[in-house]
A and B are shown apart, each in its own frame.
Chain A
Amino acid sequence: MKILVVDDERDMQVLFEQRFRREIRRGVAEFAFANSAEEALVYLERHEHEAVLILSDINMPGMSGLELLREIKTRYENPPPFVMMITAYGDPDNYNQAMQLGADDFLTKPIDFTVLKQKLKLES
């Protein structure tokens, strides 16, 4: 399963690689990282039909996670990618907006990786 993580925090890549090191080693999960929504769109353009799951932060400089979500959901209809929004602001506004825009799931920071692995059905 290919997972695209979109977050302006660069250390997020290291964190995910280490957290999912066993899954990566076993080859059940493959990670791609984008430091901004724009970068994520470029990646999706290049790897159409590749990405299975997108994990995106909402609050980012430039294009926000919600805008990215709208872009993805309008551009890629068939098959629509699974998008999971992650935010530090667990307020209902963000949640409702994300759901309206067609987010498939919603997580709040700090990310509980055990829960995330369950959701991704990567639990070994």
Chain B
Amino acid sequence: MKLPVRYIFLILLLASCPDSRAQSAYLDSLRGALGQARDDSTRILVLGSLVDYYGFNQFDSSLKYSDSIFNLSQRVHNPYGAYLGSLGMFHALNCQGNYPQALEACFRMEESAEKLKTTRPWLSALPHYFMGVLYREMSDFPHALAQFRLAVALQDAGHGDPTDMFGAYSHSALIFIRLQQPDSALWYARKGFELAARSQQFRKFFCLANLVLGTVYHAQGNDSLARTYFQAGAEESRRYGNLYFLARSYNNLASLYRSANRLDSSIFYARAALAICRQQNFSEYTVDASSVLAGVYRDLHQPDSALTYFQVMMAARDSVFSQSKSQEFQRFAFAQELRQREIAAQREQDRIRLRLYALATALVVLLLVFFLLYRNNLQRRRANRKLQEAYRDLQAAQDQLIQSEKMASLGELTAGIAHEIQNPLNFVNNFSELNAELLSELGDLRRQAGQEGQTREEADLLRDIRENAEKIAFHGRRAEAIVKNMMLHARKSSGQREATDLNSLVLDNQRLAYNGLRARDKSFSATLQTDLDPAIPPQWLVPQDMGRALLNLFGNAFYAVREEAARGGDPQYQPTVWAATRMIASPPGPGRIEITVRDNGGGIPAGIRDKIFQPFFTTKPAGQGTGLGLSLCYDIVKSHGGEIRAEDAGGGRKGTALIITLPNSPARSGMGAR
């Protein structure tokens, strides 16, 4: 009984593969092409054809070539090749029931699709469809349905051919049967069928859509439609040489005929399925087929045959059972795989977070560096500004030094000239005085002699000569006064430094100058104001020199206010001369002392202010000033290490302030005894 059945099967099988010799020739040519292929893309193409050839029949070969495609593509960085290689691997692994590795293949497909998303965005849909298939195998229906929906959405979003996704509908239909939702199952099965019928790329899986639709109808009890679609499924499987689906078709038909009580047909298809299953080692379908046969033979009261198939079934079930055990294990592995994925994702996230932290740290460091640089720059700019200030100060000091050098050399020159002029001038003065004396003596002698011959003209001439001699003497004395002042410049200070009460020195000279002027001009009067700082300690200075300088300044001040009063511009005008001293402490140094001589006179025009300390500079009319007073003051103050400057009286008032600044040099006890 067995032989005829097997014979029929072989015929069927040969019918599905129109010419086995032609097929082996095709296979040989492919292998030859693979050997000759020079470049990698050609090799990938040839390997793809080989995978197609083995397809759903010889998983080991299919897997081997798919793996080659994948590795080769990875090596040459061809993501599409890697995608196709992973796809082939998925089919082979899924049919073998190796779900964890099948899932791995899905992930690889996803990765490759990610790299290709700009050129072929729809590629990301298929891996999700495959994941859905795996979830269904795991009986995780909610996840499976979610993945199918996602796959359809991605296919749409990527503008892929919608018919490619018919499997998502067909597999969903199978789930709805299991969930006992026949209406949904039918809708999905039909939708899958319609799409599959129009599919170009996956036409070879049209058998699946047929079988699913048949299964739905079978579940609904519509046997005739179920048979039609099962037979169509078998036809499609045969056409594409898909033995897996062919076995499944036969099983479906066998159980359909059995439930319709057409036992011969049932036996026929069950045996055909069993033949394929035995050859291809499809244990799951072996159980289905042998269980149908055992049942049918039991119904036919053929216990031998029933027992035989029962034993086949038990053996297969053992294998399936062990398979289901391994499925159990694999389910665990699948979960493990998912967990590892999550861990990897977590690790990736950690890595990203770490990179983010590193970036943030770098940013902070950068900011810090920026801040430091900015601060540095600021400091440098500040230092630069200080440097510039110092440079300006230095320049001012240099100018002042040059000025004082000029003044000093001018003073020396003045003194030198004075010395040279002094001797001839002495002769001029002496002889002019003598001339005047001699002429008056001559006049006396002539009068005593009573010379009558003396004419009036002669007497006039003698008088004129004597008067001239007197004028020469007068102007000679004027020159002598100038020369004396000039010589003071060169004179080394004869005075000794001694402890001096500066305030009383100031006060004394203010009065001295005032009284000096009053002695010459009784009508003159002025107000004397003082503001003396009692904190000034006794100073170590030359009182004669400093006194002369102060006398000069006060003399000028009184002269100025007298001039202003004489001008008579303001009837309310009150000539006033102020004297002020001030201690300027600057710890830890000894500080400075400021002496101010201020008047409310006519003031010094700004244009001549820097000339007033030069020798011979005077604004007084000829004969009233030598122009040496302030020059002398300047020398004296300098010799005490101080400075002198002229300012406006200040506060919008008229007048001049002359300010002497001296370093505070307090007399130490014991020094004053000298």
Q: What is A's interface to B at a CB cutoff of 8 Å?
A: 9, 11, 15, 18-19, 88-92, 109-111, 113
Contacts and interface: CB of A to CB of B under 8 A. Distances in A.
Interface in B433-464: 434, 438
B428 to A, nearest CB: 10
Given A15-B431, A19-B434, A110 B426 contact: yes
A109 B422 contact: yes
Contacts of B395: none
A109 B438 CA distance: 23
Given A91-B491, A91-B492, A110-B480, A15 B422 contact: no
A65 to B, nearest CB: 14
B494 A92 contact: yes
Contact of B494 (A15, A19, A91, A113): A91
A18 B480 contact: no
A9 B426 CA distance: 11
B417 to A, nearest CB: 13
Interface string B479-519: 01000000000011010000000000000000000000000
Given A91-B492, A91-B494, A109 B434 contact: no
A103 B427 CA distance: 25
Interface string B390-426: 0000000000000000000000000000010011011
B388 interface: no
Nearest to A11: B427
B245 to A, nearest CB: 139
B492 A18 contact: no
B440 to A, nearest CB: 14
A88 B416 CA distance: 12
Given A15-B430, A18-B434, A110 B422 contact: yes
B73 interface: no
A36 to B, nearest CB: 16
A15 B419 contact: no
Nearest to B480: A110
Contacts of A90: 491
Contacts of A19: 430, 434
Interface string B189-214: 00000000000000000000000000
17 contacts: A9-B423, A9-B427, A11-B427, A15-B431, A18-B431, A18-B434, A19-B430, A19-B434, A88-B422, A89-B419, A92-B494, A109-B423, A110-B422, A110-B425, A110-B426, A110-B429, A110-B430
A97 B425 CA distance: 27
Interface SS of B by simple majority: helix
A88 B490 CA distance: 13
A55 to B, nearest CB: 15
A111 B422 CA distance: 11
A109 B425 CA distance: 11
Contacts of A92: 494
Interface of B: 419, 422-423, 425-427, 429-431, 434, 438, 480, 491-492, 494
B421 to A, nearest CB: 11
Nearest to A110: B426
Contacts of A9: 423, 427
Contacts of A110: 422, 425-426, 429-430, 480
B343 to A, nearest CB: 107
B469 to A, nearest CB: 13
A15 B423 contact: no
Contacts of A88: 419, 422-423
Contacts of A11: 427
A5 B425 CA distance: 20
A123 to B, nearest CB: 16
Tell which of B422, B423, B480 has the most Cβ of chain A within 10 Å.
B423
B494 to A, nearest CB: 5
Given A9-B423, A9-B427, 20 more contacts: A15-B427, A15-B431, A18-B431, A18-B434, A19-B430, A88-B419, A88-B422, A89-B419, A90-B491, A91-B491, A91-B494, A109-B422, A109-B423, A109-B426, A110-B425, A110-B426, A110-B429, A110-B430, A111-B426, A113-B430
A91 B427 CA distance: 22
Nearest to A113: B430
Closest 8 CB pairs of A and B: A110-B426, A18-B434, A92-B494, A15-B430, A88-B422, A11-B427, A109-B426, A91-B492
B491 to A, nearest CB: 6
B350 to A, nearest CB: 97
Nearest to A15: B430
A87 B476 CA distance: 19
B352 to A, nearest CB: 96
A23 to B, nearest CB: 14
A11 B491 CA distance: 27
A113 B434 CA distance: 11
A88 B434 CA distance: 21
Nearest to A7: B423
B318 to A, nearest CB: 142
B495 to A, nearest CB: 10
A91 B426 CA distance: 18
A60 B438 CA distance: 30
B434 to A, nearest CB: 5
Contacts of B434: 15, 18-19
A60 to B, nearest CB: 12
Nearest to B418: A88
A15, A109, A110, most chain B CB atoms within 10 A: A110
Contacts of A91: 491-492, 494
Contacts of A18: 431, 434, 438
Nearest to A22: B441
A107 to B, nearest CB: 12
Nearest to B426: A110
A18 B423 CA distance: 18
A96 to B, nearest CB: 11
Contacts of B492: 91
Nearest to B425: A110
A16 B430 CA distance: 10
Contacts of B494: 91-92
A88 B492 CA distance: 14
A113 B430 CA distance: 9
Contacts of B425: 110
A89 B418 CA distance: 11
A9 B431 CA distance: 14
A110 B487 CA distance: 13
Contacts of A109: 422-423, 426
Nearest to A9: B423
A20 B480 CA distance: 23
